[in-house]
Structure 1
Amino acid sequence: MSREERIAAQLVEQLGGRENIVAMACCMTRLRIDLRDLAKADLKALRKIEGVKGVVQTGGQVQVIFGPGLAQKVAEAAAGVTGVAVGEAPPVPGEAARLGSADLLRKIANVFVPLIPGIIAVGMMMALNNVLQKANLITPETTVFGYSVVGILNLLGGTFLGLLSILVGQNAAREWGGPPVMGAVGAAILLGGGNGAALTALNMVPGRGGLIGALIAGAFLGWLYRKIQRVIPESINIIVTPFLTLLIGGLIVVFVVQPVGGVLADGITKAATWLIGVGGALAGFVLAGTFLPLVMLGIHQGFTPIHMQLIETLGNTPLLPILAMAGAGQVGAALAVYVKTRDADLRRVILAALPVGILGIGEPLIYGVTLPLFRPFIGACIGAGFGGAVIAMAKVGALAMGVSGILLTLLVDKVGMYLLGLVVSYIAGFIATWLLGFDESRVTEAQSFTFGD
């Protein structure tokens, strides 16, 4: 038995057995598991499993943080143990949708978590294209075997974005308890066909509302399918339920969701630009300084549709570089702990987590260092706030998503100011944590902290 298989077996046992697991999803650093009965899970025992850096419980979902690399391997092993594929719809229709339904941000995050690898891939591809052209290593006229290099990179990095609405609608329907394909149908309706001709013929704007509209359409059709399914006799369910869902829900998507989604998308764009433009440094401080708690709870991916909407409307997202300062503030805080503590084990944890923290993956530092010690977590938030203030004043925008930390320099329009924001966050996080200090007696808890137990 491999290390990952051993960890997965222990994980399933402490979660109440394979019968208690409804659905699983995995992102860069954590495995998210929906449970039938949360009371059967032993959250304290989970944190003692090898490789576990933290445990978060929100609603009926348990998030087990492993860090980059190990999370994906354990997820695959857990799928083998339980028979529940990572990202698979729950075997009991609608059951996962009823678990923790009040946590809207968590549900939105669940829609986008399975898409993260693709978003990262296209973000890095766009970054490569951007860097090569800015360095004058390639131009639109550069060809290889007669094919435009820029054109090929645009194909590799841009094709996915055209399908993103469909995938969002699909995942939203599943999250709200219906068949994923019905959400894909709802999102496709908003696109109006291959070139939008179907909506254009109705004097409507194809794709209006962007990912916000796709999210609403998918969630609504998933919810509606589940409601209709409950009242239709089983003998005709397979035919009548999808037909009525499309007939009733499709009309609502066209005449209600499409305009409402458009208004919401426009409102989000205007609100974000107004907030950053008018609030300036103060807005940047508050946004960056309060983002780490969202990362801690695993609901930060709920901001993905907002970033994508801003990119679609403005050509960049001014919000992403501000929020990226949260990770930088934490790096500064962790460095302060490293310098101040004399605990050899804690220093090893910090050294291991710092590289990925600098790259923008903050969970190892959150659960291994700052949050267990508490005051360094506050210091990290303060450091993030100062960096966010710099970014907001400089109006730095990110041209795409997928990366954070130092890697985001490849995607921002003002590299110098973004780097200045990172440095400010590092320094402010270090100073704030140094001044706040931390309780040395809690150092041993930094390797076994669980949030939510």
Structure 2
Amino acid sequence: MADPKNRATAAAILPLVGGADNVTSVVHCMTRLRLGLRDRALVDDEALKALPSVMGVVEDDTYQIVLGPGTVARVTPEFEALVAEERTDTSAPGPGENGESAAPVPAPSPDHALTAAELASQGAALKAARKAKNATPFKLFLRRIANIFVPLIPALIGCGIIAGLNGLLINLGWLPAVTPALAAIASGFMALIAVFVGFNTAKEFGGTPSLGGAVAAIIVFPGVAKIDAFGNTLSPGQGGVLGALAAAVLAVHVEKWCRKWVPESLDVLVTPTLTVLLSGLVTIFGLMFVAGEVSTAIGTGADWLLTHTGAFAGLVLGGLFLPLVMLGLHQALIPIHTTLIEQQGFTVLLPILAMAGAGQVGCAAAVYLRLRHNHSIRNTIKSALPAGILGVGEPLIYGVSLPLGRPFVTACAGGAAGGAFVGLFSMLGDKVGSTAIGPSGWALFPLLQGNHGLGTTIAVYAGGLLVGYLVGFAATYYFGFTKTMLAELNTPAAEAAADPEKPKEPVAA
């Protein structure tokens, strides 16, 4: 039975994205409803942002509506059902059919305060300009890599939390008859993650998914331990997700090559056989060894970096993560996180990168206090701040800090400070890791794991968040605004100009 609240949310979103006929694909990740659209001009961005359940919108290779963790997984099937019910063969013209862009946001002046809607428009314009400028082949490739791993995040999170719970029970000596079952539940997915990566890789690169999964399955098959590859004895799992990705990409190319010359009458027999055989041989006698060396180097490099330069590495990683997100380069880290989780049971990089969100939260709190007369921006912050604390930072980034400019830089300073704090403790021997990727902020607590007790791990991560909050707040409060910016954004006269019907507030003497 459909949930009325989620059904209502889906019903409110559908007409604002141009109706069922304008929707070509519907998927979701951890926090976003990702839509493929025929005509972007039919979307009413401002009306979507005004919906109570929508935290923000992001335009990338798909149109992404931020609904938050949990909510998006419930709204998506309702949305898909509505699309299936309402789709017709013809579509009516809608607003924006001439493809005209939104009206430019006027430059702020002392007589006009920027509202939340104007800031959001500026944020969307910055996002669109960045996308047009940076749609390079390399970044498009990174998006494809992300499309391979993002569907695996829910399983990583679920298994990671179960692994953490199992570890806690073992440490406490509770339920010894249950912990082996929990260990099997938590470890089963990770033992076969290469197969899922191979399946998704082939699907993303235009091949047959099952063939990609079949070739990747060779990597985790126990029988490879009996193979001597040029003097090197293989180990099950050698090469991990990187080997699976490479093997599946190779399988796609072999499959496409076969389709060019194999007669149609023999295609169903010859093409799958040659694809698995040729790709499998190359995987066994080449890719597994090479990918294994690369995977080992990643783990060794991450350990060395945090052990010897932890504070500095944390400063750089935490400070640059928000700009990496802006450029789309953060997607290159997804296979690295997954490799570390596969090797060590947790990724030491994610808790440091999560400090960028802490700096963003501290920044937003400072903007809220500094712009006490701009109720429009303050309302945006009030609605987006809880999501930011839980690690969903897009509404604050695109709705507040990025269009304001300087606060985005001071938010990065907060992230750098928090990252340096966590990195410092890595140098001291207390490594903090996450058993899954996806969540950050407070939502990362259930996934924390380290090389010492859980209490120490939680304390270090919480300390990093606190440092990120405080430095992000202080840097923004004292350095995030020029006098001109404050005059434009935060005067009683300007607020009255933005909303003429609202009575002016008295100015304290």
TM (normalized to structure 1)? 0.80
Provide the C-alpha distance between the structure 1 equivalents of 2:407 and 2:42, rounded to a whole number of angstroms. Answer: 24
Alignment correspondent of 2:98: none
1:385 and 1:124, CA in 2 relative to 1: closer, same or farther beyond 3 A? Answer: same
2:435 is aligned with 1:400: yes
1:348 and 1:57, CA in 2 relative to 1: closer, same or farther beyond 3 A? Answer: closer
- Deviation of 1:426 after TM superposition, in Å, equals 0.7
Provide the C-alpha distance between the structure 1 equivalents of 2:298 and 2:462, rounded to a whole number of angstroms. Answer: 27
- Deviation of 1:78 after TM superposition, in Å, equals 4.1
2:44 is aligned with 1:45: yes
- Deviation of 1:106 after TM superposition, in Å, equals 1.2
Alignment correspondent of 2:105: none
Within the candidate set 175, 197, 202, 1:173 is matched to 202
Provide the C-alpha distance between the structure 2 equivalents of 1:47 and 1:234, rounded to a whole number of angstroms. Answer: 51
- Deviation of 1:217 after TM superposition, in Å, equals 1.7
- Map of 1:99-118 to 2, 5 A cutoff? 102=138, 103-118=140-155
1:197 and 1:248, CA in 2 relative to 1: closer, same or farther beyond 3 A? Answer: closer
Alignment correspondent of 1:159: 188
Provide the C-alpha distance between the structure 2 equivalents of 1:57 and 1:300, rounded to a whole number of angstroms. Answer: 16
Cα offsets for 1:284-310 (capped at 9, x unmatched)? 111111112344566645423312322
1:132 and 1:206, CA in 2 relative to 1: closer, same or farther beyond 3 A? Answer: closer
- Deviation of 1:69 after TM superposition, in Å, equals 4.0
Alignment correspondent of 1:89: none
User: Counterpart of 1:31 in 2: which secondary structure?
Assistant: strand
- Asked whether the 8 Å contact 2:250–2:279 carries over to 1, the reply is yes
Within the candidate set 267, 278, 282, 1:252 is matched to 282
- Map of 1:177-188 to 2, 5 A cutoff? 177-188=206-217
User: Counterpart of 1:412 in 2: which secondary structure?
Assistant: strand
- Deviation of 1:200 after TM superposition, in Å, equals 2.6
1:296 and 1:79, CA in 2 relative to 1: closer, same or farther beyond 3 A? Answer: farther
Which residue type is aligned with residue 173 of structure 1?
A
Alignment correspondent of 1:65: 66
Within the candidate set 108, 120, 124, 2:161 is matched to 124
1:346 and 1:374, CA in 2 relative to 1: closer, same or farther beyond 3 A? Answer: same
Which residue type is aligned with residue 358 of structure 2?
A
Within the candidate set 295, 313, 316, 1:283 is matched to 313
1:252 and 1:407, CA in 2 relative to 1: closer, same or farther beyond 3 A? Answer: same
User: Counterpart of 2:34 in 1: which secondary structure?
Assistant: strand
Which residue type is aligned with residue 31 of structure 1?
L
User: Counterpart of 1:129 in 2: which secondary structure?
Assistant: helix
Alignment correspondent of 2:388: 357
- Asked whether the 8 Å contact 1:43–1:55 carries over to 2, the reply is no
Within the candidate set 424, 427, 430, 2:473 is matched to 430
Alignment correspondent of 1:13: 18
2:248 is aligned with 1:205: no
Gaps of 5+ in 2: 86-134, 451-456, 496-509
Provide the C-alpha distance between the structure 1 equivalents of 2:283 and 2:16, rounded to a whole number of angstroms. Answer: 41
- Map of 1:240-389 to 2, 5 A cutoff? 240-296=270-326, 300=330, 302-342=332-372, 343-389=374-420
TM (normalized to structure 2)? 0.72
Provide the C-alpha distance between the structure 2 equivalents of 1:311 and 1:114, rounded to a whole number of angstroms. Answer: 16
Provide the C-alpha distance between the structure 2 equivalents of 1:234 and 1:330, rounded to a whole number of angstroms. Answer: 57
User: Counterpart of 2:392 in 1: which secondary structure?
Assistant: coil
Provide the C-alpha distance between the structure 2 equivalents of 1:8 and 1:130, rounded to a whole number of angstroms. Answer: 42
Provide the C-alpha distance between the structure 2 equivalents of 1:214 and 1:339, rounded to a whole number of angstroms. Answer: 50
1:424 and 1:349, CA in 2 relative to 1: closer, same or farther beyond 3 A? Answer: same
User: Counterpart of 1:290 in 2: which secondary structure?
Assistant: helix
Provide the C-alpha distance between the structure 2 equivalents of 1:188 and 1:77, rounded to a whole number of angstroms. Answer: 34
- Asked whether the 8 Å contact 1:397–1:412 carries over to 2, the reply is yes
Q: Report how many residues are paired.
A: 412
- Deviation of 1:236 after TM superposition, in Å, equals 3.1
Cα offsets for 1:230-264 (capped at 9, x unmatched)? 44443333332222211222222222221221121
Within the candidate set 20, 26, 34, 2:28 is matched to 26
1:241 and 1:319, CA in 2 relative to 1: closer, same or farther beyond 3 A? Answer: same
1:428 and 1:17, CA in 2 relative to 1: closer, same or farther beyond 3 A? Answer: same
Provide the C-alpha distance between the structure 1 equivalents of 2:352 and 2:283, rounded to a whole number of angstroms. Answer: 34
- Asked whether the 8 Å contact 1:328–1:358 carries over to 2, the reply is yes
Provide the C-alpha distance between the structure 1 equivalents of 2:234 and 2:26, rounded to a whole number of angstroms. Answer: 38
Gaps of 5+ in 1: 85-98, 445-453
Residue range with higher mean Cα deviation, 270-279 or 333-342 = 270-279
Which residue type is aligned with residue 433 of structure 2?
A
- Asked whether the 8 Å contact 2:414–2:475 carries over to 1, the reply is yes
Cα offsets for 1:303-356 (capped at 9, x unmatched)? 233123223434542212211111111111111122222233433332333333
2:422 is aligned with 1:391: yes
User: Counterpart of 1:360 in 2: which secondary structure?
Assistant: coil
- Deviation of 1:43 after TM superposition, in Å, equals 8.2
Identical-residue share of aligned pairs (%): 40
- Deviation of 1:393 after TM superposition, in Å, equals 1.4
- Asked whether the 8 Å contact 1:8–1:74 carries over to 2, the reply is no
1:337 and 1:54, CA in 2 relative to 1: closer, same or farther beyond 3 A? Answer: same
Within the candidate set 449, 471, 479, 1:412 is matched to 449
RMSD: 3.1
- Asked whether the 8 Å contact 2:18–2:43 carries over to 1, the reply is no
Cα offsets for 1:135-173 (capped at 9, x unmatched)? x3x44xx34xxxx13223223322221121111111111
